[in-house]
Amino acid sequence: NVFSPWDAVGIWMKLAFMIGLPVSLPFALYHLWAYVRPGLRPEERKSTVKYIPYSILVFVAGFAFAYFVVFPMAFQFATDMTRNMGLHET
């Protein structure tokens, strides 16, 4: 059941955000780095560049944790709450 005419639009917008954020994040981070880099000394640049692979790894790990652990739990919670309220999922 749809509760408002904007539900379908909201679903598409959330999906676009979930796809667009991981796709655009590397470009945004590159531009942030290109802006900050000229203001750093050479030793600061070297130490900062060492952390970039780790930050990507932590981002991917967090994304995987959210997708494989948090999302199924939240989905199960929402499904259980809907059933307890006597509503029908369509």
Taking the C-alpha atoms of residue 20 and residue 6, their distance in angstroms, rounded to an integer, is 21
Flag whether pLDDT at 73 surpasses 90. yes
What's the confidence (pLDDT) of residue 6?
Answer: 59
Specify whether the CB–CB gap between 90 and 8 falls below 8 A.
no
What's the confidence (pLDDT) of residue 26?
Answer: 87
31-53 residue pLDDT tens = 999 999 999 999 998 988 888 88
Mean pLDDT throughout 9-28? 88
Model confidence at 79, in pLDDT bands (50, 70, 90)? confident
DSSP for 5-48, written as a single string: TTHHHHHHHHHHHHHHHHHHHHHHHHHHHHHHGGGS-HHHHHHH
Calculate the alpha carbon distances from 9 to 13, 19, 84 in Å.
6, 15, 27
pLDDT, the chain, mean: 85
Model confidence at 8, in pLDDT bands (50, 70, 90)? low
